Amino acid sequence: MDIDDQTSPQDKPPAGAFVGLHARVLEYLGMAVCDQELASGSIVKIEDLERQYNVSRSVIREAIRVLESMGMVSSRRRVGILVLEPSNWNLFDPQIIRWRLATRSRIAQLRAITEFRMAIEPEAARLAATRAPLRQASDLMGLAGRLWAAGEAGDQKAFLKLDIEFHTLVLASSGNEMFAKLDSLVSEILAGRTNYGLMPAHPHEEALQLHVDVATAIQRGDPEVARISMLRIMERTMSEMNSMWDSPHQSSEFIRQAEFE
């Protein structure tokens, strides 16, 4: 069956998620592994994938090489392609994050990354208050103001863009190059929450104020206030998400509906 014909339009990955046939096959295989359609521990034959997607062996091999680099599969000579356990995956890879957010493991992925952000971003804000150049601190103030305006206007597209810029700049302003490299992870999780209808249309005023508090504390050089304010942002996020994590609506039907709301 041709790769373009095997799924309905609503089942396909978002437009722009791939470019060209190689990337499209990679998208479907990555999603299949993340959603356990290709279950961990299973063996897949390249010739079976050729027939399933109606593409050449070279296209399949290229996609498999990328998945191997992510730790998702392992090629075994005369055996086939072994699908590896998630513990082997590069879970910080933005593409893996994006795939997992598009599967039934979405809620678990959101929880894991939010817990990770809670451990990292308050410390990044604390460091930024002691290290951020004046220009970056001023830029944070400007972003916080525009973020507030977008939130009050209910402009989710603008809010998402500004929120990503804000948190990315805090990470960069920490002066810690490892923190700064987490920008793509934060970007993917914020985009995922918005794209799957898991963000309120109008952010709570307290959340908007806390972003201003973080920026103000960094500009004033107050590390403890910066840390506490960012921690409260993360705690609000956890609180907003807890109702979903503990809800019986974590069914596949709820997940499918959330994709199209």
- CA separation for the pair 180, 140 (Å, rounded): 15
Q: Name the pTM for this structure.
A: 0.81
Pairing of strands 73-76, 43-44: unpaired
What fold characterizes domain 9-88? Arc Repressor Mutant, subunit A (1.10.10)
- CA separation for the pair 98, 116 (Å, rounded): 16
pLDDT (mean) for 143-166: 96
Distance between alpha carbon 107 and the CA centroid of its chain, in Å?
A: 12
Encode pLDDT of 63-72 as tens digits: 999 999 999 9
Homologous superfamily assigned to 106-245: GntR ligand-binding domain-like (1.20.120.530)
Encode pLDDT of 73-88 as tens digits: 999 988 999 999 999 9
**Max Cα–Cα distance, the chain, nearest Å:** 63
Domain residue ranges of the chain, discontinuous segments joined by +: 9-88, 106-245
